Structures are given as C-alpha cells and as structure tokens.
Amino acid sequence: MSIKISVDREKCISAATCIAIAPETFELDGEGKAVIKNPTGNDEATIIEAAKSCPTQAIIITDENGKQLVP
C-alpha cells in the first residue's frame, strides 16, 4: 500500500506526539506546526500510528485510491 500524508496546519497545536512516534517523518517548523520531513522516513504502520496519536486529528492519511484512513 502507498499512503499520502497531509497536515491541517489550522488544527495543529504543536503537541508533537507525531514526532515522538515517527521522528523520521515529522518535525515542527519555525511556527511550531507539524510538517512532513520525509514521507517515507518511517514505515507506513508507524506513520499511521503517529497520525492516530494526534490529539486534534490534524494529520490526514489517505491510501493510493484517495480513501481516507486517518482520522
């Protein structure tokens, strides 16, 4: 499976749980918002776990067909 990751910057509150779980994929930018550092930095299961850990559901994961997996 191939996934697409996006971050809703309006929802991001800089909790950084995504970074704690998938540090090779996510980082905080200069505004303290989560951004995608490397979309293949961690395995897909870890990236999905990181997205699910977001307290505001700011990370959106879709599959190769555009079906939303998270949130």
Question: Each residue's pLDDT tens digit in the chain (71 positions)?
Answer: 799 999 999 999 999 999 999 999 999 999 999 999 999 999 999 999 999 999 999 999 999 999 999 99
CB within 8 A of 45, min separation 6: which ones? Answer: none
**Is-contact 2 48, C-beta < 8 A?**
no
Name the residue range of residue 42's domain.
3-70
| pLDDT tens, position by position, 39-58 | 999 999 999 999 999 999 99
Q: What is the C-alpha separation between 63 and 9, in angstroms, rounded? A: 20
For the question of whether the overall pTM of this predicted structure is more than 0.75, the answer is yes
Cα separations in angstroms, 44 against 11, 28, 30:
22, 20, 26
Number of structural domains (the chain) is 1
Instruction: Kindly report the CATH number assigned to the domain that includes residue 32.
Output: 3.30.70.20
The residues that bridge with 4 in the sheet, in sequence order, are 62
